[in-house]
């Protein structure tokens, strides 16, 4: 018996029948004597429907009003799930983000959790209730406004609550079985992982593995919140995400990640002086543009080129900002490429194993895939390639590193 946080995504509560099934699942844990805090997303396409109504009205909706609009979706599903729990005889109560004590900064539509005051949740738990929290939303106390945490923010809600409540486990229920060695839609032989370290998962999530939101993984890794990612449609065990030292074996390569929704910006002729990178990336950060891979090669005659990738849908915003910076830093020009993608191999074990990078480059070369940029971290090697070759690259690497085998 312990305290469990369970998060159910939009597909898991996609209609009334599924909401009832979720209630039945919770019932089992409740009967076992666990204390349960549930975090729900909006039902199925609710968020998309609300967004499209806003788009019918304006091309440029006020972020504050978007948050009022979108936060309604999770309130609806939280109330309905609570009713379904009541119907099974389980005492339960729904709480909005504010009532759950989830406080954020004031960056509307992409707010960050600044603190959690779980008094109300703890009170309701002490009264024997299952607490159903509307995910994805918080409250900006300084300005008394509702905020949302950005798409997929319900994961962040669940992890942050699990930490604040010192939960024994945070279960993320979704429409997939767990974390795979590669995207099963691209690699049919992809294998479900029983466990993965925070760090490996972070790299996978950052590369577009859509199982769990990057920020939520980051939170979990930082605060060592134990996570299970599993399907809400069956009883399979899912993938456990935890600290690396707890893992039984050390795999060289854990999985292949890829992303086809990125674009590349290159700033040409940048003077190689201290503070230049800051001048480029600070304004992008202020605009909440997620800069991912950054590559800067050695300079020649005090001049260098600097490349980085951004989500494709943020390319035009990012270009606008960079073009304003160009004169301030005496750079020569800006180029962009919106036809790129990337593929990464990820694995804790690669740290102690020479030749992994060489093997990756070799496999890509054998398959006629040109590498345009390379970046590496301790547990990841990423190659930027043509977007139309990404799937071929993922398949070739999954085969080459034999990830389909136990």
Q: Please say whether the beta carbons of 149 and 160 come within 8 A.
A: no
What is the C-alpha separation between 52 and 224, in angstroms, rounded? 38
Which CB, 37 or 69, lies closer to its own copies?
69
Among 146, 228, 306, 350, the residue binding its own copies under the rule CB under 8 A is: 146
Q: Does 79 bind its own copies (CB under 8 A)?
A: yes
As measured in angstroms, the least distance from the Cβ of 97 to its own copies is 12
Q: Cα–Cα distances in Å, from 381 out to 103, 250, 388?
A: 36, 17, 20
Residue from 1, 33, 56, 185 in contact with its own copies (CB under 8 A)? 56
Name the one range near its own copies by CB under 8 A: 58-66, 228-236, 349-357, 396-404.
58-66
Q: Which stretch binds its own copies (CB under 8 A): 53-61, 167-175, 242-250, 361-369?
A: 53-61
Q: How many residues bind its own copies (CB under 8 A)?
A: 36
Rounded-to-integer distance, Cα 333 and Cα 267, Å: 6
Of 14, 21, 11, residue with least CA distance to 172:
11
Between CA 320 and CA 196 the distance in angstroms is 39
Min separation Cβ 87 and its own copies, Å? 4
Q: Is 144 in the site for its own copies (CB under 8 A)?
A: yes
**85 exposed, middle or buried (CB, 10 Å; 0-12, 13-18, 19+)?**
buried
Q: Which residues, numbered 177-236, are part of the site for its own copies (CB under 8 A)?
A: none
The window from 89-97, 151-159, 355-363, 372-380 that contacts its own copies (CB under 8 A) reads: 89-97
**Which window, 71-79, 216-224, 235-243, 273-281, contacts its own copies (CB under 8 A)?**
71-79
Query: Considering the rule CB under 8 A, would residue 244 count as an interface residue with its own copies?
Result: no
Q: Which of 76, 294, 295, 371 binds its own copies (CB under 8 A)?
A: 76
Q: Is 354 helix (H, G, I), strand (E, B) or coil?
A: coil
How many angstroms separate the Cα of 183 from the Cα of each of 87, 314, 359? 38, 24, 21
Q: Which stretch in 67-75, 155-163, 334-342, 343-351 sits in contact with its own copies by CB under 8 A?
A: 67-75
370 binds its own copies, rule: CB under 8 A: no
Contact code string over 6-45 relative to its own copies, x by CB under 8 A:
----------x--xx-------------------------
In the bound state with its own copies, the residue whose beta carbon lies nearer, of 63 and 269, is: 63
* Of 41 and 71, CB closest to its own copies: 71
109: left (phi over 0), alpha (psi -120 to 50) or beta: left
Q: Does residue 189 sit in helix, strand or coil?
A: coil
- Taken as a whole, the chain contains a residue count of 406
The CA distance from 350 to 200, in Å, is: 11
Of 13 and 389, CB closest to its own copies: 13
- Say how far apart CA 106 and CA 138 lie, in whole Å: 10
Site string (93-132) toward its own copies, x via CB under 8 A: xx-x--x--------------------x------------
C-alpha Rg value of the chain to the nearest Å: 22
**Whole-number Å distance between alpha carbons of 16 and 356:** 49
Q: Measuring CA to CA, how many Å separate 345 from each of 185, 202, 270, 301, 380?
A: 17, 13, 30, 34, 6
Q: Which residues contribute to the site for its own copies (CB under 8 A)?
A: 16, 19-20, 50, 53-54, 56-58, 61-62, 64-66, 68-69, 71-73, 75-76, 78-80, 82-84, 86-87, 93-94, 96, 99, 120, 144, 146
């Amino acid at each position: 018996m312990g305290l469990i946080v369970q998060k159910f995504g939009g597909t898991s509560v996609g209609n009334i029948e599924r909401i009832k099934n979720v209630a039945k699942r919770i019932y089992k844990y409740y009967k076992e004597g666990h204390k349960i805090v549930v975090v729900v997303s909006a039902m199925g396409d609710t968020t998309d429907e609300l967004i499209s109504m806003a788009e019918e009205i304006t091309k440029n909706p006020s972020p504050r009003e978007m948050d009022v609009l979108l936060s309604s979706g999770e309130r609806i599903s939280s109330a309905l799930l609570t009713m379904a729990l009541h119907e099974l005889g389980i005492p339960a109560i729904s709480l909005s983000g504010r009532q759950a004590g989830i406080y954020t900064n004031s960056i509307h539509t992409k707010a960050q959790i600044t603190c959690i005051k779980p008094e109300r949740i703890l009170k309701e738990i002490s009264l024997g209730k299952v607490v159903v929290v509307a995910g994805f939303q918080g409250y900006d106390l300084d300005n008394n406004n509702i905020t949302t945490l950005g798409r997929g923010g319900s994961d962040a809600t669940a992890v942050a609550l699990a930490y604040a409540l010192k939960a024994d486990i945070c279960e993320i229920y979704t429409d997939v079985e767990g974390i795979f060695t590669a995207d099963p839609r691209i690699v049919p032989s992809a294998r479900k992982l029983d466990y993965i370290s925070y760090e490996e998962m972070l790299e996978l999530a950052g590369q577009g593995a859509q199982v769990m939101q990057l920020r939520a993984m980051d939170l979990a890794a930082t605060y060592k919140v134990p996570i299970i990612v599993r399907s809400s449609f069956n009883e399979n065990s899912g993938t456990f995400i935890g600290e690396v030292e707890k893992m039984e074996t050390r795999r060289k390569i854990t999985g292949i990640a890829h992303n086809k929704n990125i674009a590349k910006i290159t700033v040409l002729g940048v003077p190689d002086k201290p503070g230049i990178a800051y001048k480029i990336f600070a304004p992008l950060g202020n605009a909440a543009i997620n800069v991912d891979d950054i590559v800067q090669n050695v300079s020649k005659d005090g001049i260098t080129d600097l490349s980085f990738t951004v989500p494709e849908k943020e390319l035009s915003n990012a270009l606008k900002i960079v073009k304003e910076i160009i004169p301030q830093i005496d750079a020569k020009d800006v180029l962009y490429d919106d036809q790129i993608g990337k593929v990464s191999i990820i694995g804790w074990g690669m740290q102690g194993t020479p030749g992994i990078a060489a093997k990756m480059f070799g496999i890509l070369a054998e398959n006629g895939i040109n590498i345009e940029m390379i970046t590496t971290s301790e547990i990841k090697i990423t190659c930027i390639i043509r977007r139309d070759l990404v799937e071929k690259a993922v398949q070739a690497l999954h085969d080459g590193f034999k990830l389909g085998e136990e």
